[in-house]
Structure 1
Amino acid sequence: MGIRSRIISHLSEGMINYPEINALWLEGSDGTSTSDHLSDIDVVIHVNSGFETKALSICENLLEEIAALDISYEEPRQHSNMRYKVFHLENTPSYLFIDVNVYSHRPFIEFDRFNDSEVPIVLFDKKQVIQIREHNESELQQTLRNRLYHLENTIKQKARVEKYIERNKFIEAIGYYHKFIISPLVEVLRIKYKPINHDYYIVCISKHLPREIAQQLEDLYKVTSIEDISKHTQQAYQWFYEVLKDVQNNLNE
C-alpha cells in the first residue's frame, strides 16, 4: 500500500468509531479522479458542534502513528465550527500535504450533481450528511448576474492601477493590476466557459478554460515592467468588456 492510500485508510479506520464524528470524505483530485504523484489529500470531517478541536486532535494523533509531523498548522477562521489545518509527514513527498477541513456549521453538506469539480469520495457517512442535489440553473444564473454587477464595478476602477503607472511605482501598480483588472477578468471568463465554478479563481483554471483562452490569459500574467502593466491593463480591460457582452447576452436569452 502506498503512503497516500495508507494515510486515507488509517484516518478512516481511526475515526469511524467516534460517535461525534458523523462523516468523513475526500474532495479535490480524489473526487475528480485526477490525482497524480503531485497531488495533496483533501480531507473533510463532519462532526457534532463542539467536537471540532477534538476531531483535529484525533486526526493529528492518527497521522503521528504513521510518521512524525513536520507541518501541523491551523489557519485562522472566523467561525469555530469551520476549521482548517494542514499537515505533512516527515520523509514523505514534499507535495503530499494533508488538508483537513472540519465542519459542524450545518447538518447537511450539499453537492450539485452538475458540478464535476466538487465530487465527494465518501469514506463513511453515518448520518447521511452528504446530500447530492439537483442542479438549479435559474438560481445559478441569478448568482452570475449579481457577480457581473460587482465585477464590472471593480474593473471600472482601473484608474487605481493607472495612477501608480503614472507614478512609476511598480509594486503598487502590479498589486492593483491583479486586484482590479486580472481578478474580474478571470471570473468573467469563468462565467463564460465554466459558470458553475465561477468563484474558483485560478484553481484548475487551465482545465476549465479552452486552451487558447488560457494561453491568452497567461500572457496577461507575464508582467515584468511598468510598461507591461500599462499595455496589459488596456488589453485586459477591452477583453473583459467583450466577454461581458457575450455573457450578458447569454444570460438574457
Structure 2
Amino acid sequence: MLNRHQILHALQQALEPLTYVHAMWEGGSAAFGRDDEWSDVDVQIVVEDERVADAFAVAEAALLTLSPFEIRWEVPHPAWHGHAQVFYKLQNASPYLMVDFVVMKASNPNKFLEPEIHGQATILFDKNNALAVAPLDWAALQKQLTARLEQLRVTFPLFQSLITKSVNRGWSLEAVAFYQAFTLRPLMEVLRIKHSPAHHNWHVKAAQFDLPPEVFAQVEPLFFPRDLADLSAKHAEAERLFYATLASL
C-alpha cells in the first residue's frame, strides 16, 4: 500500500522542474501536526495563470505511475474558494489517503496560508517567494464577527420554536435536523468566536483542539440526544449555554 511520503514525492518530482509551477505545499492536518493514519493528503500548488490544465495533466500522470484512480472527482467551476480542485482515491492506497489537489493561479491573492487559520504549511518548494503571506487582519475579522453576532442575536431566538414545535408534534427526524441546524450550529459559532475566533466558521471541525477542555466537555453531550425527551432537555441546556456565551462577548 502507498504511503503519503510516496504520493508527495511523486508529485514533487514531477512538478518542481516545471518553470510554470511556482510553489507546492501540504496543508490540512499536517499543517497542525495532527496527521495520522486516517489523514488525507492536502496538496496545493501555485502556477502561472494559463497553465492550470497543464499542471493537472502532469500531476495526474505522476499519480498514475503509483496507482490507477478508483475515483476522480473535479469540483465544479467556479468553486467556492476560487481555485481548481480535484479529489483522487487511489486503488493502491488506503481509502483514507485521498489526494485533495488544488491548483491556484499566481494572480489569485487568496492562498489559504494564514497560519492563524490554516496552520503552518509544509512547504515542499517555493521558487519565487510565492507563498509570502500577510498576517491575519484581526481588525477586519473583528468587524466581521461583530456584525455576525448582531445577526445571531436576532436569528437564534427567532428559530428556536422550530425545534420545540417539532418535539411537541413528535416529529423526531425534523426535531433532530432543526436542533442541529438552528441550535447547535450557532452555539458552536459563538463558542468559537469567543475561544478561537480565527476558526469561527469551522463548526465542529477540530473543536476538541480549539475549545477549552471544560467547554468542550459541556458541549459534546449536547450532540447526542437519546430520544425526544432528552433532545428537549439538551435543547434547553444548549440555549442556556448560547445566551451565556453571547453575554460574555
TM-score (norm 2): 0.88
Q: Is the 8 A contact 1:74 1:85 kept in 2?
A: yes
SS of equivalent residue, structure 1 residue 76? coil
Deviations 1:133-184 (A, max 9, x none): 2343322321221221233333221112222222221112111111110110
Alpha-carbon distance in 1 for matches of 2:63, 2:39: 18
SS of equivalent residue, structure 1 residue 85? strand
Alpha-carbon distance in 1 for matches of 2:217, 2:169: 30
Among the aligned pairs, what percent are the same residue? 27
Counterpart code for 1:90 = Q
**What is the CA distance between 1:209 and its match in structure 2?**
1.1
Alpha-carbon distance in 2 for matches of 1:67, 1:149: 51
Seen in structure 2, the aligned counterparts of structure 1 residues 54 and 160 have a Cα distance that, compared at 3 Å, is farther
Seen in structure 2, the aligned counterparts of structure 1 residues 64 and 233 have a Cα distance that, compared at 3 Å, is same
Seen in structure 2, the aligned counterparts of structure 1 residues 172 and 50 have a Cα distance that, compared at 3 Å, is farther
Alpha-carbon distance in 1 for matches of 2:223, 2:110: 39
Alpha-carbon distance in 2 for matches of 1:13, 1:166: 61
SS of equivalent residue, structure 2 residue 39? coil
Counterpart code for 1:65 = T
Deviations 1:80-132 (A, max 9, x none): 9522221122232221111112222614636335x174222111223322123
SS of equivalent residue, structure 1 residue 181? helix
Q: Are 1:154 and 2:155 an aligned pair?
A: yes
Equivalent residue for 2:4?
4
Equivalent residue for 1:84?
85
Matches within 5 A, 1:50-89: 50-79=50-79, 81-89=82-90
SS of equivalent residue, structure 1 residue 219? helix
Gaps of 5+ in 2: none
Matches within 5 A, 1:22-61: 22-61=22-61
Alpha-carbon distance in 1 for matches of 2:92, 2:213: 36
**What is the CA distance between 1:241 and its match in structure 2?**
0.7
TM-score (norm 1): 0.87
Alpha-carbon distance in 2 for matches of 1:110, 1:85: 17
Matches within 5 A, 1:212-231: 212-231=214-233
**What is the CA distance between 1:219 and its match in structure 2?**
0.5
Alpha-carbon distance in 2 for matches of 1:186, 1:107: 29
SS of equivalent residue, structure 1 residue 188? helix
Residue 168 (structure 1) aligned to one of 167, 170, 174 = 170
Q: Is the 8 A contact 2:66 2:92 kept in 1?
A: no
Alpha-carbon distance in 1 for matches of 2:77, 2:225: 33
Equivalent residue for 2:182?
180
Residue 109 (structure 1) aligned to one of 104, 108, 111 = 111
